[in-house]
Amino acid sequence: MVESYRATIEWVGKAALGTILLAAASRPGCSANLTETGDEAKLVIIVQDDSIQNLRDRVDELMIALSDIEENNQ
């Protein structure tokens, strides 16, 4: 059996920002789903890898990208 590691990141906020964050989450090892209700959106990102260190690296890179986007869109 091959080991697999997974992290889930959830975000809730304005739909316009959710669309931008969704685009940033479109990368290898990530799957993302955005649901919108009026002006509010919920983004769920699942990051997966066979190595826990690679998973950590992917999550770190993703969180940096999401943080930069959020900072530039306030």
Calculate what percentage of the chain has a pLDDT beyond 90: 91
Query: Does the pLDDT at position 24 exceed 90?
Result: yes
List the structure tokens of 44: 């769920």
Query: Does the pLDDT at position 47 exceed 90?
Result: yes
d(CA 8, CA 48): 9
Give 67's pLDDT tier (boundaries 50, 70, 90): very high
* H-only helix segments in the chain: 15-24, 52-72
What letter does residue 20 receive in the DSSP assignment? H
List the structure tokens of 13: 């906020």
pLDDT at 1: 65
Backbone angle region of 72, left / alpha / beta, with phi > 0 → left and psi within -120 to 50 → alpha:
alpha
Q: Delineate the domains of the chain, giving CATH numbers in brackets.
A: 5-67 (3.30.70)
